[in-house]
Amino acid sequence: GMMPMMMGRQGMMLGMLDLSDEQRARIRAIQRETASKVRRLWVQMADEADRLRDLYAAERPDPKAIGRAYSKIFDLKRQIIEARVAARNRTMDVLTPEQRKALKSMRERMRRGRMGMMGMGGDAAGGPMSGKEHRRMMREGDHRRMMEQR
């Protein structure tokens, strides 16, 4: 069945593959490791965002200090993206060539919209949301999902 740890489209598609118990265990380990790393980075990002708010609250905000704070936030975001892409690659390495091929064709079908799961943005690797999806979420006030995508 579906693996509880697997999120989003990637998880749904992996759940449709005939994974062995060993593959399932290896993928779960990759996901757990990635989730804990990403959580740590998110906490650091939240701390930096608090610092940024304080900088903006100053009577005369310092542009350089604000720029440095944004640089830290962007660096943490970059680390999150890299961790997710690395996890996706490591997950692919666990699959057999046949499973990789099946996953690739599922991805292509999904991109063409035949399996379009309610317009989910991004995937387990943190792929970018389209500008259209981002604007729709903004309109609908779906900030929680946007935060997950960032």
Using CA atoms, how far residue 125 sits from 24, 38, 47, 51, 88, in Å, is 17, 11, 24, 28, 6
The percent of residues in the chain predicted with pLDDT above 90, rounded, is: 56
- Dump pLDDT digits (tens) for 72-118: 999 999 999 999 999 999 999 999 999 999 999 988 888 887 554 55
pLDDT confidence bin for 12, thresholds 50/70/90:
confident
In whole angstroms, give the CA distance from residue 53 to residue 138: 21
110 and 9 in contact (C-beta within 8 Å)? yes
88 and 38 in contact (C-beta within 8 Å)? no
